[in-house]
Copies of this chain bind each other. A is one copy, B any other.
Amino acid sequence: MGRKYISDAVIRRLPRYYRYLGELLDNHITRISSGELSQRMGLTASQVRQDLNHFGEFGQQGYGYNVELLHREVARILGIDQIHNIIIIGVGHLGQALVNYTNFERRGFYVVALFDIDENIIGQTIGGKIVRPVEELKDFIKENAVDIGVLTIPKKEAVQMANILVESGVKGIWNFASVDLALSDPSVIVEDVHLSDSLMRLSYKLSNQN
């Protein structure tokens, strides 16, 4: 959409800006300088200014940022001013944790359906939604507007399910399975949460501390 290249590091920081600005709003702080915002976030003031300058002119020289305005702008940049319909595949503990996470709805992510392969869970109602058999996955996606598929299943099944999601037209996959998905359609966006990798990084840092 004609927007210039934004580095991964900046994209990684964007949700943090959104979180910190939200906390400022909760504390009724309406205006903040780049210096103060950067200090809270553990960045430098020039980094904050550079990051935000990628997206427009937000601050006013000498007056700092209007917190509410900037919060709303970052939401728009992140695309969370729009509604995203989500389906969750795998309603184990992790899937249930996500169903019940109210913060997601507040940011426009609505869980519209749950799927599982386990006969004991299919038909149950969790978080107000009935658990459907995965056999209905394709038809559900084709008949409903689904933006994001969440994979909270073991890696063996994740690859197959990811392919079904892609074939059915889902545009984004939030992948919790411990595998890097190689998709047939490279335009589908995958965001991984590899919990084991994260725990191993913690272990690495504990082992290699000075």
Instruction: Give residues in A with beta carbon < 8 Å to B.
Output: 1, 3, 6, 11-12, 14-16, 18-19, 41-42, 77-80, 82, 84, 92-94, 96-98, 100-101, 103-104, 107, 109, 147-148, 171-172, 174, 178-180, 187, 189, 191, 193-210
* Least Cβ–Cβ distance between A209 and chain B, in angstroms: 7
Residues on B with beta carbons closer than 8 Å to the beta carbon of A78:
200, 203-204, 207
Q: A41's closest neighbor in chain B, by CB?
A: B180
Other-chain contact of A93, B1, B19, B93, B199 (Cβ < 8 Å):
B93
Q: Which of B12, B77, B199 contacts A109 (CB 8 A)?
A: B199
Complex interface: chain B residues within 8 A of A195 (CB)? 98, 101, 193
Contact residues in B for A79 (Cβ distance below 8 Å):
203-204, 206-208
